[in-house]
Amino acid sequence: MLFQSFRSGSSGNLLLLATAATRLVIEFGIRTKRESLQVLETIGVGYGPVTAVLISHLHADHASPYGLATLAESGIPVHLPGKARIGAALPANLAINWYDRRPFAIGDITVTPRPVRHAPGVPTYGFIAGSRDDGCERKAGIFTDLSCWDEALLQELAVCDFIYLECNHDRQLLRENPNFASRYHLANPNAALLVRTLLQRGSRPCAIMLGHLSHERNRPELAQSAVEAELCAVQEDAR
């Protein structure tokens, strides 16, 4: 499997998980129709036509109105959480597949949705996505928006070869630029502690990507240093 982040953050999210046969876009929070068409063209030229789009929840930075309208016009099917259908204003001609906790297939990728805590009243999921290649199964854990983590999530991530994890804000920058909604997102130290706990239990993913960084309340170097500090602690514990 191949993974690429095209957009990440409060201004919009769009991720790609691809195999030789399937191009699965995860999130489609593109603000304009023009940008939506451009990113679909970019993926098409680089990897092939988009097979389907998978949305974790219906906040605009994950499923924008212009983005959904573009998908409807393009005939690309969209997978949405079943509970989101209540009160959701969606394009009438959008090809929708409603999902719940049960695993389902998109091409040769098997998706297992996992409910996570996020904003009140907004059903939100993370995903464990797996695919087989030459008899070997690879799994990716993709969790873009969550306010906390627990034992159940640790167990899900423990079997993943690749993890995309929210690392939303630095607490000092949040104090300098208060934002009520930040309480519904994972702070750098919390994400770092999750990574440390996984490693201490023997989990060894091939790679971990930190995503959904706030533009105003985080910096890439701050997120990275928070995780590196916990990794150093793991190495010290192992000595």
Q: How far apart are CA 19 and CA 143, in angstroms?
A: 19
Kindly report, residue by residue over 197-212, the tens digit of the pLDDT: 999 988 889 999 999 9
The residue to which tokens 């993709």 are assigned:
142
**Prediction pTM value:** 0.93
Mean pLDDT of 189-194: 95
User: Residue 235: phi, psi to the nearest 5?
Assistant: -65, -40
Asked if pLDDT for residue 118 goes beyond 80, the answer is yes
Q: How far apart are CA 55 and CA 28, in angstroms?
A: 7
Kindly indicate the confidence band of residue 236, based on its pLDDT and cuts at 50, 70 and 90.
Answer: low
Q: Closest by alpha carbon to 54, among 107, 116, 120?
A: 107
Selected residue with higher pLDDT from 27 and 200: 27
For residue 33 the two structure tokens come to: 């129709």
Q: Over the chain, what is the mean pLDDT?
A: 93
CB 43 within 8 A of CB 25: yes
